[in-house]
Amino acid sequence: MFNEYIQVPVIATVVGGQTGRLDDYKGGVESIIRLVPSIPESALEGIDEFSHLEVIWHFSLGSDSDIEFEPRSPRGNPDWPATGGLVHRNHRRPARIGTSYPRLLRVEGRDLHVTDLDADDGTPVIDLAPVFREMLPRGPIHQPEWPGDMLRSYWKDARERS
């Protein structure tokens, strides 16, 4: 489908936490980001002084046959406007890369214990870094109403879904 590819290393794997590719109820779930053995524990020195991480991961449960560029309504809901494939933030993107900002709970050796990481158990992690306030978006952020409607239950506590 694409002419150009890059290779990126997997630096860690998500252990525990989310399962089943759920659309909502991602809040309050604890998981571990476990570094691969080739990365020394010392690479994490000082990270425990930060409250949140920026985690870049691969939607490994998706497939190239799921990639969709053409406009469609988010989650198939006709109440929301059809938007192009690069406007959606899901596994149907061409590189199938996700970004999350979980809260860091503690560090134990090669394990980063986090909460609110919306990547499933077994997900490959491509990169991570502490969140620096100065690197967050500058200025006001604006968006249409539909993302707020769509994501109203996204960060609700997972225990509430039953």
Please count the structural domains in the chain.
1
pLDDT averaged over every residue in the chain:
87
HSE, side-chain direction, 13 A CA sphere, residue 87: 15
Taking only the tens place, the pLDDT of each residue in 8-60 is: 999 999 999 877 766 655 677 899 999 999 999 999 999 999 999 999 999 88
pTM listed for this prediction? 0.86
- The conformation of residue 41, written as its DSSP 8-state character, comes to G
Read off the pLDDT of residues 104-137 as tens digits, 9 standing for 90 and up: 999 999 999 999 998 889 999 999 999 999 998 9
Output the domain CATH number for residue 102: 2.40.30.70
Q: Phi and psi of 41, rounded to 5°? A: -55, -30
Q: Which domain holds residue 32?
A: 12-161
Is a pLDDT exceeding 80 seen at residue 90? no
